[in-house]
Structure 1
Amino acid sequence: MLFTKVKSISTKELQEQLNNQPTIVDVREDFEYQGGHIPSAVNLPLSTLDQQTGNQKLHEPWYLICRSGARSMRAAKYLTKAGYDVINVKGGMNAWNGPVQN
């Protein structure tokens, strides 16, 4: 499978899902996550994702977010190939207008 099809949504669409308590996975590095993240987001940095996914007991689907959407797209392709149900958040935290926790 040369190309992996990944589902994507906008930050506005994710914000509309917040009442449903979606599983949000922030794939930025820890220092970026600590600088401000979506309050319910779990931090699984892309750089260590392959070592951490087997330990996670998170409900699927996972909504993946990063700073701009590029790393979360890479993570989404990797996780989709591994059999996870994931959705990439286009625009990332740069486009996020919802609540942020430090």
Structure 2
Amino acid sequence: MKVISAKEVEALFNDGKKLNIIDVRDVNEVEAGKIPGAVNIPLGLVEFRMHELDKSKEYIMVCRSGGRSGRATQFLESYGFNVINMAGGMLAWEGTVE
């Protein structure tokens, strides 16, 4: 499983790179703030919504601490998606939130 740090994601974000971020936290968790532009697909719905994703794109998976996003990363990898887990999740994120 590929992993990226929150600092690396923040640097890419601040450089204006187009990132495809999937936040797998529950809706009520996301309401407290998410990385700008992140799409919320709760972990329990990833299997049912993966048809919305494009296998030619790279996705960064995010959750609260990195555990659920790690499971989502492994699951999507098994279906041929290019996914990276953000280590430490939102607890490690120091950038802006929306």
TM-score between both structures, scaled by the size of structure 1: 0.89
* 1:23–1:59 contact (8 Å) kept in structure 2: no
Which residue is 1:8 aligned to?
A: 3
Matched, 1:33 2:36: no
Deviations 1:37-85 (A, max 9, x none): 0011000110111000113358620000000000000000000001000
Q: Which amino acid in the other structure matches residue 6 of structure 2?
A: T
| Greater than 2 Å deviation, 4+ residue runs | 55-59
Please, which runs of 5 or more residues in structure 1 have no aligned partner?
A: 1-5
Number of residue equivalences: 96
Q: Among residues 48, 51, 66, which one is paired with 2:48 in the alignment?
A: 51
Distance 1:84 1:35 in 2: 28
Identity %: 40
Superposition CA RMSD, Å:
1.4
Q: Among residues 75, 78, 94, which one is paired with 2:75 in the alignment?
A: 78
Which residue is 1:3 aligned to?
A: none
Distance 1:94 1:53, change over 3 A: same
3-state SS of paired residue (2:50): helix
Please, which runs of 5 or more residues in structure 2 have no aligned partner?
A: none
TM-score between both structures, scaled by the size of structure 2: 0.92
Structure 1 window deviating more from structure 2 (16-25 vs 81-90): it is 16-25
